[in-house]
Structure 1
Amino acid sequence: MRQALLGRANLVRLSGRILTALFVSGVVMLGAAEQASANAKYAGIVMDAKTGKVLYESNADAPRYPASLTKMMTAYMIFEALSSGRIKKDTRIPVSRNAAAEPPTNIALRPGDSLTVDQAVRALVTRSANDAATAVAEFLGGSEAKFASMMTAKARQLGMSRTTFKNAHGLPNSRQKTTARDMAKLSIALREHYPQYYSYFQTTSFTYKKRRYGNHNRLLGRVNGVDGIKTGYTRASGFNLASSVQANGRSIVAVVLGGRTSRSRDAHMADLIKRYLNKGSTGRDRMLIAKAPGGARTALAAMIPGKQVPLPTERPEAETLTAYAPEAPVKAAAVMNTAVPRPRAAVAAVDPMPTASTAPEPQGGASAGGWVIQVASMPSEDEALMFLAETEKKAGQVLARAVPITETFEKGGVTYHRARFVGFDSKSDAWGACASLKKKSISCYAVQQ
């Protein structure tokens, strides 16, 4: 009888453990589901870089805006040119007026300047410099449009069947899109094809013309095993991050697209790494993405899923990258620090793609998340961009995690350009940044996004 009772008690304990395990597992799965459902821009994937096995995915094949993850392909094209001997690290890249005019983030290149290939790569992976990206595009492709066509063709060769590039930097363009799965494939291709250059993505800072630029990737040196790759942000895309991790004989790549803030994106990525790294294979490394002489011709080994499509028969035509109204002849002081309703039409002009990236804004004044600070409103976009650059320079570490943007709005039939910094998780973070800026005699106020 006693043995029967003990057996029954053990069975109850075992059943309890099973139920607890199922509950915990359900909570984890529910958390991931809530992450995706609560944020219409979200997409994510974790892939074993040794076997190609997908360890986690959510909306992995849904179209999204790559933002500055675009520069991963720009870097791939540079590495290919270096490997083939077409260019060297000390080859100088000329800077055109078009390249110098690119908005932040940039390294303040001027028409007639030149920088080395080595400097250009470091500017791409640390500062995420848009001016350097365009200079590279014009140098390697002859024009932005031709280089974008080359990037798209290369994407097809690498098995990135749902990716189209229209520029080399990732600034807003409704036809420039990708998926989390495609960006994971590109991350693996960079590691496999160009290990001699991949260490560029581990660069923590870069100095150009006596100014030091830090890497936007805050996981480098903070999360064990992270060795790159790239961050990205536009208003349409949200906060993006591709990460490569190698630790304890395991190797994974992870991609998060559409984060609400840089901090929440980084936290989610760190959680994915913690959760899935130990699920990775400890076997030998395998070449997942085939690379034929002169460039990758075969797309992917069958172990990485993804449909193959033919190479484009026509070059994608060039298009205007911005949709801002012409400059208005009024004084900036007239609207400095004036709060006005958010301009829906102006945003739609650069974000018309009918995907989950363009979910309608919450009604009744509710916010989708995140805080921004505004430092000025200007009648000219160039003035707004210059003000952002000067503010960033004066602010130092106060704005180290923030991203400068401009937004247009109309008042009295006149178009103005807000100068803002985005990426604050909370009201207290944004207010704290403003308080620090005001001590430096920089006007500022915080608003919820």
Structure 2
Amino acid sequence: MYNPLPLIQRFFAALALLVLLAGCSTTTPPDSVLAVPAPAQKYAAIVVDARTGKQLFEVSSTAQRYPASLTKMMTLYLLFEALDSGRVSKQTQIPVSDHAASQPPTKLRFRRGESIDVDSAIRAIVVKSANDVAVAVGEYLGGSEDQFAAMMTSRARQLGMTSTIFRNASGLPDGGQMTTARDMAVLGMALRQRFPQQFHYFSESDFMFRGKLVRGHNDMLGRVRGVDGIKTGYIRASGFNIVTSYNADGRNLIVVVMGADSARQRNDHVEALIQRSLSPTMDGAKTRLMFAEQ
């Protein structure tokens, strides 16, 4: 079984140095695009070279934030583990309890006694960010959502996510559910490294369910060449969050932006950070100072 911990440990070592480095592009975004997209109490960001674990950029990356639907990345991590171990197959039917069906949108709106196969459940969580499906998966794997949340937190610790506590499977509001941009970068790297055979799900922007086309929320897909996932999130307390994977021309980045005021603002910011991180002329220290002065 692949162990992502050595690379993640190198990532933590790089974080301790707090260096802002760069990579390779031809254009540098204007400073207006790189302006802090949210109040300081919500905003956080980090860019990591996923091949080396080296930090390329960060602002408030260890500050506590609400994960919102980025939580579902860990729900999927544990579901992928269950697939790898043979505990479930992609055809396994997951029952949707009354508790799961009662979750607020976004959701697929199940009726009492209905179920969903694992393959469709993965797509529903990735593409639609379906809260009812995430809770159903948690109950199926954990026995209850509370027990599943404890499993999520335990796995987070094992991956090196030292500042994350999960309270539910969906990311719906809970004052005790906290994370950091750094921890979300660790999880994003772990998903790619541990489950390369499943990572394609995160690049899907729609899927068919019961004869209907279900469209997704991740507008970064198709917007920037090389972006191949992974997950968006929003609750009022968090602002607009995203973890983005960039994989092109021999470069692999994980970009986390949390706390933007809108999805468009968040996406503009991610694109600017990708360009800045790939630029061979990026002045990391200047970029960090610019953010600090907002």
What letter corresponds to residue 229 of structure 2 in structure 1? Answer: G
Residue in structure 1 matched with residue 251 of structure 2 by the alignment: 250
1:195 counterpart SS class: coil
| Closer/same/farther in 2, CA of residues 210 and 31 from structure 1, 3 Å limit | closer
Aligned residues: 252
- What is the CA-CA distance between 1:221 and the residue it aligns to? 1.3
- What is the CA-CA distance between 1:275 and the residue it aligns to? 1.1
Conserved? CA contact 2:38–2:260, under 8 Å: no
Aligned equivalents of 2:111, 2:102: Cα separation in 1? 8
- What is the CA-CA distance between 1:31 and the residue it aligns to? 7.5
Conserved? CA contact 1:252–1:277, under 8 Å: no
Residue in structure 2 matched with residue 210 of structure 1 by the alignment: 211
What letter corresponds to residue 162 of structure 1 in structure 2? Answer: S
| Closer/same/farther in 2, CA of residues 212 and 121 from structure 1, 3 Å limit | same
What letter corresponds to residue 158 of structure 1 in structure 2? Answer: L
Conserved? CA contact 2:38–2:261, under 8 Å: no
What letter corresponds to residue 149 of structure 1 in structure 2? Answer: A
Aligned equivalents of 1:107, 1:268: Cα separation in 2? 30
Conserved? CA contact 2:220–2:267, under 8 Å: yes
Alignment of 1:2-401 (within 5 A): 28=31, 35=36, 38-278=39-279
| Closer/same/farther in 2, CA of residues 91 and 58 from structure 1, 3 Å limit | same
- What is the CA-CA distance between 1:109 and the residue it aligns to? 1.3
- What is the CA-CA distance between 1:277 and the residue it aligns to? 2.8
Conserved? CA contact 1:223–1:270, under 8 Å: yes
RMSD: 1.6
Conserved? CA contact 1:250–1:278, under 8 Å: no
Unaligned runs of 5+ in 2: 1-27, 281-294
Aligned equivalents of 1:209, 1:99: Cα separation in 2? 19
1:199 counterpart SS class: helix
2:77 counterpart SS class: helix
Higher Rg: 1
Aligned equivalents of 1:97, 1:31: Cα separation in 2? 44
What letter corresponds to residue 148 of structure 2 in structure 1? Answer: F
2:198 counterpart SS class: helix
Per-residue deviation, residues 241-278 of structure 1 (Å, max 9, x unmatched): 10000111111100000010011001101111111134
Conserved? CA contact 2:37–2:260, under 8 Å: no
Aligned equivalents of 2:104, 2:38: Cα separation in 1? 33
Conserved? CA contact 1:73–1:151, under 8 Å: yes
Per-residue deviation, residues 264-305 of structure 1 (Å, max 9, x unmatched): 0011011111111346xxxxxxxxxxxxxxxxxxxxxxxxxx
Aligned equivalents of 1:74, 1:277: Cα separation in 2? 31
1:196 counterpart SS class: coil
1:206 counterpart SS class: strand
Conserved? CA contact 1:36–1:58, under 8 Å: no
1:63 counterpart SS class: coil
| Closer/same/farther in 2, CA of residues 80 and 254 from structure 1, 3 Å limit | same
What letter corresponds to residue 121 of structure 1 in structure 2? Answer: I
* TM-score calculated relative to the size of structure 2: 0.83
What letter corresponds to residue 169 of structure 1 in structure 2? Answer: S
Conserved? CA contact 2:255–2:270, under 8 Å: yes
Aligned equivalents of 1:219, 1:37: Cα separation in 2? 19
- What is the CA-CA distance between 1:36 and the residue it aligns to? 6.7
Conserved? CA contact 1:64–1:177, under 8 Å: yes
Residue in structure 2 matched with residue 429 of structure 1 by the alignment: none
- What is the CA-CA distance between 1:40 and the residue it aligns to? 2.8
Aligned equivalents of 1:204, 1:278: Cα separation in 2? 28
Aligned equivalents of 1:82, 1:226: Cα separation in 2? 25
1:68 counterpart SS class: helix
Conserved? CA contact 1:101–1:131, under 8 Å: yes
Conserved? CA contact 1:251–1:277, under 8 Å: no
Conserved? CA contact 2:104–2:131, under 8 Å: yes
Conserved? CA contact 1:63–1:162, under 8 Å: yes
2:88 counterpart SS class: coil
1:137 counterpart SS class: helix
- What is the CA-CA distance between 1:211 and the residue it aligns to? 2.3
Aligned equivalents of 2:33, 2:226: Cα separation in 1? 25
* TM-score calculated relative to the size of structure 1: 0.55
Per-residue deviation, residues 41-99 of structure 1 (Å, max 9, x unmatched): 10000001111111110000000000000000001000000001111000000111001
Residue in structure 2 matched with residue 334 of structure 1 by the alignment: none
